[in-house]
Structure 1
Amino acid sequence: MPFYKSIQINATTTAYFWQITEDVTSLFRAVSLKDTSLFRLEGMKSEEHQKGFLAVRMLLQHLGYTDYDLTYDEAGKPHLNYEARSTKYENENPSPITHHPSPNQKHISISHSHEFSCICISDELMGIDLEKLKEKTLKIAPRFMEVKHLENLPVSEQMEKATVIWGVKESIFKIKNEKGISFPEHIFENEFCLPDGKCSAELHFNNTIEKFKIHFYKVEDYIFVCAFPNN
């Protein structure tokens, strides 16, 4: 079973990664899907998207949930029925999700890219993004970020930093989930260094400025980003 790893981001936030080595049929047979999920799966033309979708359900099952515990609101944002988590799993695996006095208020965010799917579960509102490192991200960097952030870096680090910044913007967008937000025009990353693993960003939208704290990690040849509102 290719549960890959977990990352403890803070005391009440954990990200879980599934490395997708199975084919679609094997994944489909291993999960139980509600009717709405079956309908979504059947509408996916890409096998990669199908596998990413099913691997998310594999992660849920690994953590003691099922597809029935995951719902989406009208804007497409996921919500988790934390109270439905398996008591058996809680007793046998107490460490991944702990320190929480009110278990029905967990937040969930989801991302998948190529060979990996990821879910993040937290007491705090957050958004995540998982992106594979690729040259295309660096080529289109001027479209979504200030290229001054890439100055004086070797190409490999430019690619990593551009991917982090894309993940920052994508993660903040998932938190806000509002139409009209533009990556280059409304979300601004503050200067940071890759070894820090942390940075900050701001959303300037609808005459307000909102601040966010960011954690980022390199997972194999992927960049994982998690954003939190900095209240």
Structure 2
Amino acid sequence: MAIAYRHQIDDDTEFALWRIEEGADELYKQLQLDEHEKAFTKQLSKSKRYLHWLGTRVLLRKMLGTEDYIDCKVDAHGKPYLVSLPYHISLSHSFDYAAVMISKSSPVGIDIEQVKEKVERIANKFMSPDELAYINPKHTIDQLYVCWCAKEAIYKCYGQKEVSFLDNISLQPFAYEGHGVVDAKLQKGAIDNAYEVNYIKYEDYMIGYVKA
């Protein structure tokens, strides 16, 4: 499968989606892995998690346009980074899709989620009463997924642990459409960061993405 969707955000920032239709062996053959990565993949069963891990790495390789080994590590906070290439990256996956965002200039964050009604049951765990008040009943599920994806994208972009979606990330009211922008803030201690998070609905998936 080729790249299913690719969006150029600015001159040095883009994201893309890969629909995972291959088996694990086929994806594995497209990668170059070091001994640590090979050992890590052996710990994963032939499950969706394994396919997701492989899918994000194949997509990253395609976006960077290289056949060389890509040294992709994860820092102490769980944020992926490239050791020897000048890109900030963010990875996400959900069911049949892998998503990757890259930028040469700034930290980025992306989240993709398949839209399901279960989000309504947990909304009060990541949304404040003020945020819940502006949810449009006509678009409850989709709008809640925008909020989740926006907060997840900000969390990944910020790249530090111990951030509460409910207490530290706040979203300004917005009218839901199939795509748009949400203004947000991450506030924790002395940190007060403003973000403009973009979102788009693709098939039955919601995507939120942000650049610092």
Question: TM over 0.5, yes or no?
Answer: yes
- Code of the residue aligned with 1:218 in structure 2: it is K
The SS at the match of 2:199 is strand
- Aligned twin of 1:90: none
Aligned pairs for 1:61-76 (under 5 A) are 61-63=61-63, 64-65=65-66, 66=68, 68-76=70-78
Which of the two has greater helix per residue? 1
Q: Is the 8 A contact 2:90 2:101 kept in 1?
A: yes
User: Structure 1 residue 26 and structure 2 residue 26: aligned?
Assistant: yes
TM score, norm. by length of structure 2: 0.88
Q: Is the 8 A contact 1:79 1:108 kept in 2?
A: yes
- Code of the residue aligned with 1:161 in structure 2: it is Q
Listed one character per residue, the Cα deviations across residues 139-158 of structure 1 (whole Å, up to 9, x for unaligned) are 211111132131x422xx21
- Code of the residue aligned with 1:34 in structure 2: it is D
Q: Distance in 2 between matches of 1:44 and 1:161?
A: 34
Identity %: 29
Listed one character per residue, the Cα deviations across residues 154-210 of structure 1 (whole Å, up to 9, x for unaligned) are 2xx211111111111111111223232111111100011222611110111014321
Following TM superposition, the consecutive aligned residue runs of length 4 or more in structure 1 with deviations greater than 3 angstroms are: none
- Code of the residue aligned with 1:30 in structure 2: it is Q
Q: Is the 8 A contact 1:110 1:129 kept in 2?
A: yes
Listed one character per residue, the Cα deviations across residues 44-95 of structure 1 (whole Å, up to 9, x for unaligned) are 3471111011111211232323553322223222122575xxxxxxxxxxxx
- Aligned twin of 1:204: 187
> Which runs of no fewer than 5 residues in structure 2 stay unpaired?
none
Q: Distance in 2 between matches of 1:205 and 1:109?
A: 22
RMSD: 1.9
- Aligned twin of 1:79: 81
Aligned length: 205
Q: Distance in 2 between matches of 1:67 and 1:171?
A: 27
Q: Is the 8 A contact 1:201 1:211 kept in 2?
A: yes
Q: Distance in 2 between matches of 1:47 and 1:31?
A: 18
TM score, norm. by length of structure 1: 0.81
